[in-house]
Amino acid sequence: MLELRHRGGCPGPGGAVAPPPREGVAAGGDHENESTSDRETDIDDRYGDLDSRTDSDIPEIPPSSDRTPEILKKALSGLSSRWKNWWIRGILTLTMISLFFLIIYMGSFMLMLLVLGIQVKCFHEIITIGYRVYHSYDLPWFRTLSWYFLLCVNYFFYGETVADYFATFVQREEQLQFLIRYHRFISFALYLAGFCMFVLSLVKKHYRLQFYMFAWTHVTLLITVTQSHLVIQNLFEGMIWFLVPISSVICNDITAYLFGFFFGRTPLIKLSPKKTWEGFIGGFFSTVVFGFIAAYVLSKYQYFVCPVEYRSDVNSFVTDCEPSELFQLRSYSLPPFLKSVLRQETVSLYPFQIHSIAFSTFASLIGPFGGFFASGFKRAFKIKDFANTIPGHGGIMDRFDCQYLMATFVHVYITSFIRGPNPSKVLQQLLVLQPEQQLNIYKTLKTHLIEKGILQPTLKA
Amino acid sequence: MNELRLRAVREPDAPPEDKESEPEAKVDGETASDSESRAEATPLVTSVDDTPEVLNRALSNLSSRWKNWWVRGILTLAMIAFFFVIIYLGPMVLMIIVMCVQIKCFHEIITIGYNVYHSYDLPWFRTLSWYFLLCVNYFFYGETVTDYFFTLVQREEPLRILSKYHRFISFTLYLIGFCMFVLSLVKKHYRLQFYMFGWTHVTLLIVVTQSHLVIHNLFEGMIWFIVPISCVICNDIMAYMFGFFFGRTPLIKLSPKKTWEGFIGGFFATVLFGLLLSYVMSGYRCFVCPVEYNNDTNSFTVDCEPSDLFRLHEYNIPEVIQSAIGWKIVRMYPFQIHSIALSTFASLIGPFGGFFASGFKRAFKIKDFANTIPGHGGIMDRFDCQYLMATFVNVYIASFIRGPNPSKLIQQFMTLRPDQQLHIFNTLRSHLTEKGMLADATEN
């Protein structure tokens, strides 16, 4: 990717930055200009300087080159630059949405891969920013270590969550059984190997830099990897738990932009001067309505509503079940004032639509804080966009910054209000216990089930 | 505490005069060569001599090297004695001490961050850091309490609601802190604020998770808490002694005072110590039994039938050692075999935690994390090697000793839907029948 090769110019005190916005810059002799070598002695102190100065002293890293494809440029060459930008953003938005629909059509497995791909790309973008800020390309080992930690953490999370869902598949294979049983130990050993490599790679005069990159990597992992795994867990709950929240955030983005574009007047927050109160409130109401409708439409199809399961016989994911109560139409009596407006006594709704109101509210009210956080981050490090992957929009991270909190919220919501723990995980853990413990639990469960009338008492105890 | 008030002082070149030049000054090599030209980069915390007056007078006649040795020695014995007292007082006090140590470590690391970034005048920041500490602790304690105090929690209505919606409540609290952070961003200070945000989160990740794993280990049985911590302490002391008397070959550039002789001598001494300590402790129920909360007496009890691990077994000695010792069999607790693994980790990998902390101190040009303990530095200085140990013990227990917590599983089971419960029950039954644990195979 281009941004791998971009190096920030040395922020000499008060000096202008000479950025290399060239396509495909060779990494080799083209080191950031003058002084890497003769600044060897005080690299750490340079960062001490950087840290304690205020932001204004740090020169900006100018935006990278224009990546708009040639065809678009030719088609839009006639328009003024404002409308041109509008059209580019519009076309790319439609392209992304169509891509999204295509992948949904292709199924859960493709969605999982997509989420994984996005996670890796987001991680890459944030780490690249770190490299640029700290000029740390020449640090020994560091890139290897960052990717290694990404691998470790992903291995750990995939082992904990996804393995539960593949329980039947896993039972068959002996080696997988071993990996599952000692999973935590293996993950910990892998992480420890990375940690020891980090300690051994500490180089005199670069300590501070290395610690910064270590912390940067860990915070990035905390943000991107945990979120993406929560997204996948939500996905396994049922594709609707994945689609409705993400669409609500996207809808909020788009409608807030549109409302702001046409009616925007009062600025919302200093961090993002282009956001307005009109956009915020207009976006809120449209998102709630949109969520309501999307939930209604999607709740009808088993494909979206059923938990995703892995069937070993067909070796693929299936969504096939009796829709739970949430997705069955129920009649609600309308409160009096709505009764007069709509002239109906009751209305048939899916209970899920009530939940979708909660999601849309969160997406509109708190989701933007994720966006403000990312804006603050970009201002802090004087970058315009996270990267240049999507013309007109910036990097992948720019599109996903508001989703950041949404995934956690949906997951917490599901575990608190919708269902308890994951049954296959409980089963998995039961099977791992000592036989005496299993027997004890068996007896306790039996008593409980008989009490509740779920199990008929048998002749033998 | 003094270090609260210390701000970065623009010091001239010489190392701080009021601290005796100790043989273990770790940062001299670095400090002298590369920082003296820049005022901002000098050591940030000027050390103040915290040694109590009484010790000062008693040792006033000795040379400074031996004086330091004595101060460290006396404080070491004081800390070990304190440790024994706490163990005697029981699990509840231990939990409180762990929590206090955690808070102090967090405070020390955050203070270093403040000093590095001169961020005392940042709006809100101190409040936010402590607020995040509170949130994360609330989350972890809630999860722990719910598991171990299940019956107590079910009885009290407010507690039951708090525990049922625990994750949601914790998430909301965290979110409030997050939104406050975003709203508190001030123009021209963005980078600083993001740095402190990152610093706080990494510190929480390190300090709070470790302390909660320590408490989990404690609930497993006090021996799982005492033996690992003692092994790390023993390794520290033994490596220091071996290094002091026999040390010759330096071990790693990061810590010039560590030597290979100390490392290897410490390893063997710690393994031996671990074996002996486990032998002694495995005999007592109060150390070996899981800590349980008794509803009737409303206190912690340690009373159980010791598990297999803590009953003497006879092992055949391999031929090689048979001729050396002249015994055919030896009676050991199986736990002692595990203690060898724990001691090995403490001696081989534990020091990496120490190197990490040394690297951190060099990176930020500080000599010690704080000045809480005279002669030793801050609390974090003492606990840096423990850092990885707690995680290792927890992972070890979960992987090799026992599986998941049965009472927690029952609890989770109760919250499932009836059809899920039935499905699990039937699977469990067929599994047990297969294994021959269930006598009958002809149930409906």
In this prediction, residues B3-26 reach a mean pLDDT of: 34
Q: Which of residues 23-52 of B touch A (CB under 8 A)?
A: 30, 34-35, 37-38, 40-41
Q: Which of A41, A409, A415 sits opposite B34 (nearest CB)?
A: A41
Q: What is the pLDDT of residue B176?
A: 92
Measured between CA atoms, how close is A441 to chain B, in angstroms? 7
Q: What is the pLDDT of residue B345?
A: 92
Helix or strand or coil: residue A33?
A: coil
Q: Does A141 contact chain B (CB < 8 Å)?
A: no
Residue of chain B with shortest Cα separation from A213: B198
Q: Which of B118, B168, B181 sits opposite A412 (nearest CB)?
A: B168
How does DSSP classify residue B377? B
In this prediction, residues B162-175 reach a mean pLDDT of: 88
Query: pLDDT tens, B354-394?
Result: 888 888 888 888 877 777 776 677 777 778 778 788 889 98
Contact B359 A442 (CB under 8 A): no
Is residue B55 scored above 70 in pLDDT? no
Residue of chain A with shortest Cα separation from B388: A192
Give the number of C-alpha atoms closer than 13 A to the C-alpha of residue B73, restricted to the C-beta side.
8
In chain B, which residues have their Cβ closer than 8 Å to the Cβ of A195?
A: 352, 356, 388
Q: How many contacts, defined by CB atoms under 8 Å, are there between A and B?
A: 218
Contact B388 A192 (CB under 8 A): yes
Question: Cβ distance B399 to A185 under 8 Å?
Answer: yes
Q: What is the pLDDT of residue A360?
A: 93
* B276 vs A101, residue with greater confidence: B276
Is residue B13 scored above 50 in pLDDT? no
* B8 vs B257, residue with greater confidence: B257
Containing B278, the helix (H) or strand (E) segment is: helix B260-281
Residue A36 to residues A43, A142, B26, B213, Cα–Cα distance (Å): 9, 17, 28, 43
DSSP string, B151-171: HHHHHSHHHHHHHHTHHHHHH
ipTM over 0.85: no
Residue type, A124: H
Q: What is the pLDDT of residue B188?
A: 80
Contact A441 B30 (CB under 8 A): no
Q: Torsion angle, CA of A435/A439/A441/A444, rounded to 10 degrees?
A: -170
Q: What is the pLDDT of residue A183?
A: 85
Nearest in space to A101 (alpha carbons), one of A296, A310, A298, A256? A298
SS (H, E, C) B386-422: HHHHHHHHHHHHHHHHCCCCHHHHHHHHHCCCHHHHH
Residue of chain B with shortest Cα separation from A270: B187
Nearest in space to A271 (alpha carbons), one of A373, A367, A370, A365? A373
Residue carrying the six token digits 């010790």: B55
Q: Does B147 contact chain A (CB < 8 Å)?
A: no
Contact A270 B38 (CB under 8 A): no
Question: Cβ distance A23 to A65 under 8 Å?
Answer: yes
Measured between CA atoms, how close is B189 to chain A, in angstroms? 6
Q: Which of A52, A380, A452 sits opposite B194 (nearest CB)?
A: A380
In chain A, which residues have their Cβ closer than 8 Å to the Cβ of B185?
A: 271, 372, 376
Q: Does B349 contact chain A (CB < 8 Å)?
A: yes
Is residue B149 scored above 90 in pLDDT? no
User: What is d(CA B420, CA B426) in angstroms, rounded to the nearest whole number?
Assistant: 10
Residue type, B319: E
Query: pLDDT tens, B323-347?
Result: 777 777 778 888 888 999 999 999 9
Measured between CA atoms, how close is B11 to chain A, in angstroms? 15
Q: What is the pLDDT of residue A44?
A: 44
User: What is d(CA B367, CA B43) in angstroms, rounded to the nearest whole number?
Assistant: 7
Query: pLDDT tens, B94-136?
Result: 888 888 888 988 888 888 887 777 765 676 778 889 999 999 9
Q: Does A44 contact chain B (CB < 8 Å)?
A: yes
Q: Does A412 contact chain B (CB < 8 Å)?
A: yes
Instruction: Please identify every stretch of chain A with a pLDDT value under 70, giving residue numbers as ranges.
Output: 1-80, 136-138, 140, 162-165, 167-173, 311-315, 391-392, 419-425, 428, 432-434, 457-461
Tokens of B97: 């001490």
Tokens of A79: 């328009």
- CA-based angle A360:A365:A369, to the nearest 5? 125
Tokens of B127: 């409040």
Best of A41, A42, A51 to substitute, by most chain B Cβ atoms within 10 angstroms, is A51
Q: How far apart are the first and last CA of chain B?
A: 70
In Å, the largest CA–CA distance within chain B is 87
β-pair partners for B163: none
Contact B432 A55 (CB under 8 A): no
In chain B, which residues have their Cβ closer than 8 Å to the Cβ of A188?
A: 391-392, 395
Q: Which of A55, A449, A458 sits opposite B190 (nearest CB)?
A: A55
Residue B419 to residues A51, A293, A423, Cα–Cα distance (Å): 58, 31, 10
Query: pLDDT tens, A63-103?
Result: 444 555 666 666 656 666 777 777 887 888 888 888 888 88
Q: Which of A168-172, A406-410, B280-284, B409-413 has the lowest mean pLDDT?
A: A168-172
Contact B178 A373 (CB under 8 A): yes
Q: Over the Cα atoms of chain A, what is R_g?
A: 26
Please write down the long-range contacts of A17-20, taking CB distance under 8 Å and 24 or more positions apart: A17/A59, A17/A60, A17/A61, A17/A62, A19/A61, A19/A62
In chain A, where the domains are located: 2-26+35-57, 76-105, 106-387+396-419, 421-456
pTM for the model stands at: 0.76
In chain A, which residues have their Cβ closer than 8 Å to the Cβ of B190?
A: 55, 376-377, 379-380
Helix or strand or coil: residue A274?
A: strand
Helix, strand and coil in chain A, % to nearest 5? 65, 5, 25
Residue carrying the six token digits 């809120």: A284
CA dihedral (B315, B319, B321, B326) positive or negative: positive
Measured between CA atoms, how close is B347 to chain A, in angstroms? 14
Please write down the long-range contacts of B163-171, taking CB distance under 8 Å and 24 or more positions apart: B164/A416, B165/A416, B166/B139, B166/B142, B167/A412, B167/A415, B167/A416, B167/B139, B168/A412, B168/A413, B168/A416, B168/A417, B170/B135, B170/B138, B170/B139, B170/B142, B171/A408, B171/A409, B171/A412
β-pair partners for B332: B313
Q: What is the pLDDT of residue A162?
A: 65
Contact A435 B388 (CB under 8 A): no
Contact B202 A218 (CB under 8 A): yes
In this prediction, residues B76-101 reach a mean pLDDT of: 84
